Amino acid sequence: FIFLYFPETHGITFRIQISVKELLDTDVLLKLLFHLPVNYPSTLPDISVSSDQLTRAQCMDVKDKLLEQAKRHLSEPMVHDLILWIQQHLKYVIKQSATVCNEKTTLSKGTSTEDDGIWMLLLHLDHMRAKAKYVKTVEKWASDLRLTGRLMFMGKIILILLQGDRCNIKEYMILQKTSKVDVDSSGKKCKEKMISVLCETKVQSQHKRFQMFEVKEYSTLDELQKEFEAAGLTSIFSEFVPPLLK
């Protein structure tokens, strides 16, 4: 594995990459981020998991299992033990994750809730300093969560319009608020603190479904308005977008 560490004022962050073999006939590269607080190991580490070979949900399940194991090692050094454990048990964690996912799908088909159907979310961002990186991150999240829609730029206005399962939209918002997606005025990575939810609603029959997620720039407000009108979202545009110009 690749082992790096970055000292911080409030503890140490370890970034570790491990390759796990014999999982679904392919090697899986796991990227693990451990943040050890100053009073570690008396306090559990913060853990982040990512992998190009696993879905976002599977990565979350791996993280949950690692935290469960970490609790068993409280008050003793645990990072090395956690790495060994996930190398040995990743196959079973992924299999269990797939089983749980199938059970949820079956359950949702048998019950009707307000979350059924496709939902839509309209967000307003105040600014993007690291625009290229920020846009790439939003595109990846939308792809991972099977969300369609638009990332729209018009002058200083930045809008994100998403459509998809409500649970995936909720997970997107968690990522948006907890990930370091931009940089501050000094160039240091930072979380998004200036985002507002303009509208969250169930997609209605008059609304057009977007087939993909696209990044688009508009020269005038009229061009932006036509994008909303083409999607059957004229009323949403009129209610939420013009006030942003004031």
Task: Name all domains of the chain by residue range, CATH numbers in brackets.
Answer: 12-98 (3.10.110.10), 118-244 (3.30.70.100)
pLDDT, residue 104, reads: 47
What's the pLDDT tens digit per position in 6-47?
A: 555 567 887 888 888 655 556 788 899 888 888 888 888 889
Order across the sheet with 195-202: list the strands. 195-202, 118-125, 157-165, 148-154, 213-218
pLDDT, residue 215, reads: 94
Nearest to residue 165, comparing CAs of 116, 231, 114? 116
Contacts of 115 (CB under 8 A, 6+ apart): 165, 166, 167
Which letter does DSSP use for residue 184 in this model?
Answer: -
Verify cis geometry, omega within 30 degrees of 0, for the bond prior to 41: yes
Highest mean pLDDT among 100-104, 125-129, 177-181, 230-234: 230-234
CB 155 within 8 A of CB 149: no
Report the SS3 class of residue 185.
coil
What's the pLDDT tens digit per position in 162-182?
A: 999 888 888 888 888 888 877
Average pLDDT across the chain, whole number: 82
Highest mean pLDDT among 113-117, 149-153, 187-191: 149-153
> Which carries the bigger pLDDT value, residue 217 or residue 103?
217
Name the strand (E) or helix (H) holding 143.
helix 131-144
